[in-house]
Amino acid sequence: MQGKIPDVMRALVQEEPGGPLFIKEMPVPAPGKGEVLVKMAATPVNPSDLSMLQGTYTTRPKYPLVPGIEGSGLVVAAGKGIMPKLRLGKRVACTSSAASGGTWSEYMVTSAMHVIPIGNIPYINGSMAIVNPLTALAFLNITRRGKHKAVVNNAAASALGKMMVRLFKRYKIPLVNIVRSGHQFDNLKESGAEYVLNSSDPDFAEKLTLLNSKLEATLIFDAIGGQQTSILLNASPPGSKLVLYANLSESEFMADPRALIQKGRMIEGFFLGNYTGNRGIIRNLSDIRKVKKMIRGDLSSTVAEKYLLDQGNDALADYRELMSRGKVIITPGPELLTD
């Protein structure tokens, strides 16, 4: 045990899908076998958090819910087992365990396998070191493994999208970036993106079809879903694959069966937990080492605002209003962000 651990903690709680967040005091959980207790320092708001709060996530949570999928902090207590003991006293990036509550709290119990030592990496950077960086590396791996000459990505103005711009440029893979406003178009161009299209333009579908044909862009990463999925498929060359990794539109999509059957197009889903689970520990460790080296470079994220725990509803409103501005960070106390 690291220092004195209080009996109670403060956490953000949601009581029903789509409901507001409120601060609640609850007992500090004790780590069981194979688990650790993390004193939380920082946690970002991710699109997957919004899906969880709206009740549209793949796994329906139990209520009352403490949200939050990833974050960073200090391991202050360890349950039984070798791995928990090895993590005790370490500064870590972490993800929540489904049955133990989320990161938007002062303390969190999670599996010792869900924490990654970050050494002297600042807590803010460490809090964003798992979901987006590992997803960006996964997309690069899928692209190279499939020998795709060029790639399409929508929601390109997001933190993940900007990460992909830098990463794919490093590996000299042309990336077609799709945004939805002129401001996002200009911002992405200024950040170094070569190919940017605005989905709000009346000739967007025509431009995308021509550019995909020119670059032979046969791999599409789709975070929007809904109507845009159909547009992306129809604009892709024969033999293309669309990977749906989010559904920010919260809408269903229609695909022309003939476009799939006769032109050899494919649709598949991507969920980071499934990807890392099937990848094996050696490859996952290799990706984690890459993240640590690149977390302040190609795999970094811009922070737009920081909010205290009791400002959770304001943090969500800010993030929803303009996700492309940068990450919104929630922290139990500002003193934890001074390292």
Given a contact cutoff of 8 angstroms between Cβ atoms, the answer to whether 192 and 162 are in contact is no
Tell me the pLDDT tens digit for each residue of 16-73. 999 999 999 999 999 999 999 999 999 999 998 998 898 876 667 788 999 999 999 9
Positions of CATH 3.90.180.10 in the chain = 8-128+301-337
pTM exceeds 0.95, yes or no:
no
Q: Does the pLDDT value for residue 197 go beyond 70?
A: yes
- The model's confidence at residue 339, banded by pLDDT at 50, 70 and 90, is low
Write 276-281 long-range contacts (CB < 8 A, 24+).
276/134
Q: In the predicted model, what is the mean pLDDT of residues 270-298?
A: 93
- The model's confidence at residue 1, banded by pLDDT at 50, 70 and 90, is very low
Fold of 131-274: Rossmann fold (3.40.50)
Residues 6+ apart with CB under 8 A from 174: 149, 150, 151, 168, 194, 195, 215, 217
The closest alpha carbon to 178, from 312, 327, 324, belongs to 324
Question: So what's the architecture of 8-128+301-337 in CATH?
Answer: Alpha-Beta Complex (3.90)
The closest alpha carbon to 245, from 266, 276, 221, belongs to 221
Q: How, if at all, do strands 303-308 and 21-27 pair?
A: unpaired
Which one has a higher pLDDT value, 251 or 217?
Answer: 217
Which one has a higher pLDDT value, 335 or 107?
Answer: 107
